[in-house]
Amino acid sequence: MANGYMGKVLRVDLTEGRITTEDLDMDRARAFLGGRGLATSYLYKEVPADVDPLSPENKLIFVTGPLTGTTAPTGGRYMVVTKGPLTGTVACSNSGGFFGPELKKAGYDMIIIEGKSAKPVYLLVTEDAQELRDASELWGADTHTTTDRLLQETGLKRARVACIGPAGEKLVKVACIINDKHRAAGRTGVGAVMGSKNLKAIVAHGSAKVEPASGDFRDVVKTKVEKIKADPVTGEGLPKLGTKVLDNIINANGLYPTRNFQTGVFPATNEVCGEALVEKGYLVRNSACFACPIGCGRVVELPNGLKGEGPEYETGWAFGANCGVSDLIAVTEANFLCNELGLDTISAGATIACLMELYERGLVPDEDLGKGPRPVFGSGEAIVYYTRQMALREGIGDKLAEGSLRLATAYGHPEYAMVVKGQEMPAYDPRGAQGHGLGYATSNRGGCHVRCYMISPEILGVPQKLDPQTTEGKAEWVKTFQDLTAVIDSSGLCLFTSFALDAQDYCDLINAATGYGLSVDEMMQIGERVWNLERMFNLKAGIDPSQDTLPKRLLAEAMPEGPNQGAVVKLEEMLPAYYQVRGWTDKGEPTGEKLQALGLGS
């Protein structure tokens, strides 16, 4: 096919041990583009929204976009779509590296995993063979060991592996899927869904070419790569310091969540920031995903000999400022553990931060800690210890494994869980950026910064600078960011391109690959369609619009210090406008008219 797609879907029934290939529904591909949108459309059709996420009836979908595996800049993304066990919402976790392109080279746009295997298995996908193989010997292995052993066992040295570690096997609700050892489909517990199906790994290998529709594709790509390299964010800031270029910026702007969002300023930021990673000599070099001209990845080696990739901004924050920890070595070790054991770094760090606050408030008895160190803010020992406990469900780790909301609820105080719809919020205190708070509250997968990165205009000034403390006009911005992000997630590109590229650029790339001839408005409508479909799934799953909210701390407790001292999130000023801009009822439900207009009417 010369349109960016391979035209094939692999359907794997783990219960029956049956693997079939079917044609990709091209009408669906046209309507939803690929990636996040396409897989969500399959999930919506095939999985009852009230399904138990860890039951065999849930499905786990690995999906690429039409730009995945092409030479489009950052065309290496794939997504994992399912119903998330952490939140009960639709889950779409995005990852980079090289696994996604390899899936397309093996000849597939998407793999749909159904049912549950009676024993641990891994799936091998090549152009010539698609088979389930015994993974009993690998069960219990960390993601690095698993990857190495599978490459050896299959004899396919250039294959790519996506797998779970012990956390996914033990159905830890914040377990992730790791590919290429250091890349994660991180959030919402997608790793637990994989573990619930006794699926240890997918090994992909192939040499098929992904063919774009237009003979001008190469020229279009060239202009976009030049734009990305010339942009100061994607051409300089991200390559040099990685995403941890943000630590000092966010702290100086007073919205760096510290000690479980108790404040927005961390005095020891200099010890754990991106500059420190370089100045302390831990950074070896940067690394890039498939076809990526940015190279924001960090290859790191610690003085104690431990090596790996990261920490990224979110990880460094989750185990750093959010836990009050200024020990960059401990933060990096916790990061490495998450990659090896298969944990979402944001939720893992934030859940430990929640434990720390509960403990310091006298709500966690010492006997619950077993032999573990006291989980007090600032303890580097605690963040490493309890990360491992969480992944293995050992001791209090069994409670940590359920995520911060269930943890805090178990100790009688759910208000200390900094979550939206049950998922831990990332590294920006929305009392310092009102629009970002609206984005958190309305995210379809719970606490998430990438569904709508309002930090870009409100703090970073890209594409233009908005006053972070105003609420007027933020609803329109949030909708636009959410819809454009849904397009990018459905295309197979990385969100970081959006610091340099605009909507027209994405339209040019998508059209050159697919031949769809979309206008920008038509492309944005695809994003709106994806957003509304996710909303419909969530409503059917029982996620009431009353959950479009934030923790009480952010709505009612003024920021105690720093540039945003006195601020709370003025959600009540923005949410009604957001529903209106979305064309939803004032109760937050898509109207029949809106769904018809998007082609989603039943």
Span from 48-56, 144-152, 311-319, 362-370 in contact with another protein (CB under 8 A)? 311-319
For the CB of residue 120, give the shortest distance to another protein in the complex, in Å. Answer: 33
R_g of the chain, CA atoms, integer Å: 22
Site for another protein contains 230 (CB under 8 A)? no
Is the peptide bond preceding residue 463 cis, with omega within 30 degrees of 0?
yes
Q: How many residues bind another protein (CB under 8 A)?
A: 40
Nearer Cβ to another protein, position 218 or 465? 465
Distance CA 549, CA 443 (A): 10
Site for another protein contains 312 (CB under 8 A)? yes
Site for another protein contains 173 (CB under 8 A)? no
Distance CA 498, CA 225 (A): 12
Site for another protein contains 499 (CB under 8 A)? yes
215 contact partners, CB below 8 Å, separation of at least 6: none
267 contact partners, CB below 8 Å, separation of at least 6: none
According to CB under 8 A, which one of 93, 130, 143, 234 is a site residue for another protein? Answer: 234
Distance CA 34, CA 578 (A): 26
H or E, element range at 13:
strand 8-13
Residues 430-449 that bind another protein (CB under 8 A): 449
Site for another protein contains 459 (CB under 8 A)? yes
Span from 167-175, 235-243, 284-292, 353-361 in contact with another protein (CB under 8 A)? 235-243
Cβ atoms of 539 and 549 within 8 Å: the answer is no
Distance CA 364, CA 248 (A): 33
For the CB of residue 242, give the shortest distance to another protein in the complex, in Å. Answer: 8
Site for another protein contains 244 (CB under 8 A)? yes
According to CB under 8 A, which one of 63, 175, 233, 400 is a site residue for another protein? Answer: 233
According to CB under 8 A, which one of 376, 410, 460, 555 is a site residue for another protein? Answer: 460
According to CB under 8 A, which one of 243, 404, 434, 444 is a site residue for another protein? Answer: 243
Q: What tokens does 416 get? A: 């200390």
Site for another protein contains 232 (CB under 8 A)? yes
H or E, element range at 199:
strand 199-204
Measured in residues, the chain has a length of 602
Nearer Cβ to another protein, position 78 or 313? 313
Distance CA 241, CA 367 (A): 42
What is the residue whose two structure tokens read 């910026």? 249
Residues 265-304 that bind another protein (CB under 8 A): 296
According to CB under 8 A, which one of 562, 567, 574, 578 is a site residue for another protein? Answer: 562
Site for another protein contains 578 (CB under 8 A)? no
For the CB of residue 494, give the shortest distance to another protein in the complex, in Å. Answer: 10
Nearer Cβ to another protein, position 79 or 400? 79
Q: What is the DSSP letter of 18?
A: E
Distance CA 375, CA 240 (A): 34
**Of the candidates 456, 458, 461, 512, the residue with the CA atom closest to the CA atom of residue 484:** 456
Binding mask 246-265 for another protein (x = CB under 8 A): x-xx--xxx-----------
Distance CA 348, CA 426 (A): 11
Site for another protein contains 465 (CB under 8 A)? yes
Three-state DSSP class for residue 64 = strand
Span from 299-307, 437-445, 460-468, 541-549 in contact with another protein (CB under 8 A)? 460-468
Q: Which amino acid is at 263?
A: T
Interface with another protein (CB under 8 A): 231-234, 236-238, 241-246, 248-249, 252-254, 296, 312-314, 449-450, 453, 456, 459-465, 467, 495-496, 499, 562-564
